[in-house]
Chain A
């Protein structure tokens, strides 16, 4: 008979035994792969099964959003400065990329909240919730990007070889969103204020990211745009998709390295926090 796995639970902080914690983290991540897949499968199926429009919902919102901005700009209500791309293409790629990022931000809190009844009663690797969220975000992103290409190519946009780099740009965006989403999840489970305040905060962030406006040439806004870590992510993704040379590739790589480092830290926090958060859920 195999040696049985011994598990010990004490009041000690998990951070006190870093080696055991790290081993546990990777063990659980590996152990959660089937569960993450099944949960993603479940949610994707259920998400579209009770709708008449089905997969259309994955891109109706960003299309409507883009339409609104094209109208606003075209009617002269707001004058947006000149973009290198035709403005409709600029705004459409921007809103789609932003929608993907938002999916990634929302996923961890959404998945964890939805799994409350399960979390309160069953012990399973909690990493599965985050990974399942990433799968779902990527699935929906695939549809969105497909629609995006179907719209912008007829508009005369030719993605060059740079498009081969696009998956990495997309993954960076999803990863950054997931890390941020994971960071707010433990407190977000305790206090619903987080979930309520998030859209507000993110909307504010959207206007500081080149989603519907290009980066301003000067002024305080220009500084904020430059400082915003999302700027290189969105810009690079848009550039490689539309055949431009990514101009912010340096900061893109720097942001990615920072996100990876932060991601490890956030993972530790998420893991340490889950038993404490579960304790405050109803059984």
Chain B
């Protein structure tokens, strides 16, 4: 099973920024289509136009799953729309084999006044299912959506999550050769998301999948390889884990902030003995040492220190706290130095952000808050996009000889 189902060759598409001009070009395109001229004029940009997709080529075979990553407006959706045959390329050639199914507009064709049941039939027909096929799959669809009790109520009484669930349930029961997924797995509650994932995995085995998401962990889970797009151009096709850090580099780092309580004087903060520098290069597995020197107002008995490591999106990856580890940081004089040592920083490859917080150990009042101030550029052999890894030992033997320490 290695038939190529999607073949995209040097495909380009231009768009226009101004609505009036865009509509006028639409009229012109309409005219030239009807007199048999190729789409989009002579292939060059007209005034006000830009390349939304620029010379992109790739292939996907059955059983493969290709991720499509890039910032908003990088051309991902435009590319998908050409693949799906919704719009014509201005240059190049798209070849698809088999039935194309798109999990894009979930619940397309729903009418809010009609019941869930009636809408299942409409949405199924929109996705190319015959009435008979829908009738055959109806029970499965309802079971998948977990909305059996609501099928006779009008869809307008559903919550938005319920509507999306019903839409997904219908779409997930088409049997496409080519499956296009655009930001759809982020729907519903946690339980339903897991279900969607499993369903997509199942469909993916039999089809060629193109997956668009801004959640890198999702892309990495589903797609071993991805394309990275920037302003319509294909930067490169590579292992997803390698592309993720390139993609993250396209964003300016999240804003950082310092706040220091009144009366506290900060003398210095160093990260791995580097002061006054906000970008720290570090190898995975190396130690991380943060030292803070400060002068406190009188009256403090003990402190509480914590370090958090964030993903560039500020999502928290790990957190350590002196109170939780049972370390009592007793204050001996007004001037004190606090050291936080992580013996081995087991982080995955790429950019991470570091936050340091010091509190009064008794009142938990914040004394120093260095929010996402340091950027850790982690060089890690662990190319998986998982943010952390663990040191581990693997062994093999028989039940007699195997020893686990």
Q: Judging by beta carbons under 8 Å apart, are A121 and B126 in contact?
A: no
* B226 → A minimal CB distance (Å): 21
Which residues does chain B contribute within 8 Å of A35, judged by CB atoms? Answer: 125-126, 128
Q: Judging by beta carbons under 8 Å apart, are A8 and B95 in contact?
A: yes
Closest residue of chain B to A45 (Cβ to Cβ) is: B114
Q: Judging by beta carbons under 8 Å apart, are B111 and A187 in contact?
A: no
Contact segment of A36-44, A80-88, A150-158, A223-231: A36-44
Which residues does chain A contribute within 8 Å of B26, judged by CB atoms? Answer: 190, 276-277, 279-280
Is A7's beta carbon under 8 Å from chain B?
Answer: yes
9 contacts between A and B (CB under 8 A): A4-B97, A4-B177, A7-B100, A9-B85, A9-B88, A9-B89, A11-B91, A15-B36, A120-B105
Closest residue of chain A to B128 (Cβ to Cβ) is: A124
Is B249's beta carbon under 8 Å from chain A?
Answer: no
How far, in angstroms, from A249 to B127 measured CA to CA in the complex? 44
Is B130's beta carbon under 8 Å from chain A?
Answer: yes
Is B38's beta carbon under 8 Å from chain A?
Answer: yes
| Given A13-B33, A118-B108, A280-B22, A34-B39 contact (CB < 8 Å) | no
Contact segment of A59-67, A173-181, A197-205, A267-275: A267-275
B108-139 residues with Cβ-Cβ distance < 8 A to A are: 108-109, 111, 113-114, 118-119, 121-122, 124-131
A→B interface (CB under 8 Å): 4-16, 31, 34-35, 37-39, 41-43, 45-46, 49-50, 117-124, 186-187, 190-191, 269, 272-273, 275-280, 283
| Given A35-B125, A283-B81, A122-B105 contact (CB < 8 Å) | yes
* B159 → A minimal CB distance (Å): 20
Closest residue of chain A to B87 (Cβ to Cβ) is: A279
Q: Judging by beta carbons under 8 Å apart, are B88 and A117 in contact?
A: no
Closest residue of chain A to B115 (Cβ to Cβ) is: A45
B78-103 residues with Cβ-Cβ distance < 8 A to A are: 78, 81-82, 84-100, 102
Q: Judging by beta carbons under 8 Å apart, are A8 and B126 in contact?
A: no
Given A10-B38, A10-B92, A283-B81, list of 15 further CB < 8 A pairs? A4-B177, A6-B95, A7-B100, A9-B82, A9-B88, A11-B40, A42-B122, A121-B81, A121-B105, A123-B102, A124-B128, A191-B23, A272-B34, A273-B33, A283-B78
Q: Judging by beta carbons under 8 Å apart, are A38 and B87 in contact?
A: no
* A202 → B minimal CB distance (Å): 23
How far, in angstroms, from A39 to B121 measured CA to CA in the complex? 9
How far, in angstroms, from A118 to B108 measured CA to CA in the complex? 6
B→A interface (CB under 8 Å): 3, 5, 22-23, 26-27, 29-30, 32-40, 43, 77-78, 81-82, 84-100, 102, 104-105, 108-109, 111, 113-114, 118-119, 121-122, 124-131, 177
How far, in angstroms, from A276 to B32 measured CA to CA in the complex? 11
How far, in angstroms, from A117 to B110 measured CA to CA in the complex? 11
Which residues does chain A contribute within 8 Å of B3, judged by CB atoms? Answer: 4
* B212 → A minimal CB distance (Å): 12
* A4 → B minimal CB distance (Å): 4
Which residue of the partner chain, among B27, B95, B126, contacts A7 with CB atoms under 8 Å?
B95
Which residues does chain B contribute within 8 Å of A186, judged by CB atoms? Answer: 30
Which residues does chain A contribute within 8 Å of B95, judged by CB atoms? Answer: 6-9
| Given A6-B95, A122-B127, A279-B88 contact (CB < 8 Å) | yes
Q: Judging by beta carbons under 8 Å apart, are B22 and A124 in contact?
A: no
| Given A7-B85, A118-B108, A275-B87, A34-B131 contact (CB < 8 Å) | yes
Which residues does chain B contribute within 8 Å of A120, judged by CB atoms? Answer: 81, 86, 105
Which residues does chain B contribute within 8 Å of A123, judged by CB atoms? Answer: 84-86, 100, 102
Closest residue of chain A to B93 (Cβ to Cβ) is: A10
Q: Judging by beta carbons under 8 Å apart, are B122 and A39 in contact?
A: yes
* B79 → A minimal CB distance (Å): 12
Which residues does chain A contribute within 8 Å of B22, judged by CB atoms? Answer: 280
Which residues does chain A contribute within 8 Å of B93, judged by CB atoms? Answer: 8-10
Which residues does chain A contribute within 8 Å of B109, judged by CB atoms? Answer: 39, 42, 118
Which residues does chain B contribute within 8 Å of A269, judged by CB atoms? Answer: 34
Closest residue of chain A to B11 (Cβ to Cβ) is: A9
Closest residue of chain B to A273 (Cβ to Cβ) is: B30
Which residues does chain A contribute within 8 Å of B33, judged by CB atoms? Answer: 13-15, 272-273, 276
Q: Judging by beta carbons under 8 Å apart, are A38 and B131 in contact?
A: yes
Which residues does chain A contribute within 8 Å of B92, judged by CB atoms? Answer: 10-11
Which residues does chain A contribute within 8 Å of B98, judged by CB atoms? Answer: 4-5
Most buried by A among B97, B99, B124: B97
Which residues does chain A contribute within 8 Å of B5, judged by CB atoms? Answer: 4
How far, in angstroms, from A124 to B126 measured CA to CA in the complex? 6
* A247 → B minimal CB distance (Å): 39
How far, in angstroms, from A230 to B96 measured CA to CA in the complex? 45
Q: Judging by beta carbons under 8 Å apart, are A11 and B88 in contact?
A: yes
Which residue of the partner chain, among B86, B99, B131, contacts A275 with CB atoms under 8 Å?
B86
Which residues does chain A contribute within 8 Å of B88, judged by CB atoms? Answer: 9-11, 275-276, 279
How far, in angstroms, from A43 to B125 measured CA to CA in the complex? 14
How far, in angstroms, from A5 to B99 measured CA to CA in the complex? 7
How far, in angstroms, from A16 to B38 measured CA to CA in the complex? 9
Q: Judging by beta carbons under 8 Å apart, are A283 and B30 in contact?
A: no
* B45 → A minimal CB distance (Å): 14
Which residues does chain B contribute within 8 Å of A11, judged by CB atoms? Answer: 38-40, 43, 88-92
Q: Judging by beta carbons under 8 Å apart, are A9 and B94 in contact?
A: yes
Which residues does chain A contribute within 8 Å of B113, judged by CB atoms? Answer: 45-46, 49-50
Q: Judging by beta carbons under 8 Å apart, are A276 and B114 in contact?
A: no
Q: Judging by beta carbons under 8 Å apart, are A122 and B125 in contact?
A: no
* B92 → A minimal CB distance (Å): 8
| Given A272-B33, A276-B39, A34-B125 contact (CB < 8 Å) | yes
Which residues does chain A contribute within 8 Å of B102, judged by CB atoms? Answer: 121-123
* A272 → B minimal CB distance (Å): 5
How far, in angstroms, from A38 to B114 measured CA to CA in the complex? 12
Q: Judging by beta carbons under 8 Å apart, are A49 and B114 in contact?
A: yes
Which residues does chain B contribute within 8 Å of A124, judged by CB atoms? Answer: 126-128
How far, in angstroms, from A38 to B131 measured CA to CA in the complex? 8
Which residue of the partner chain, among A4, A10, A41, A121, contacts B108 with CB atoms under 8 Å?
A121
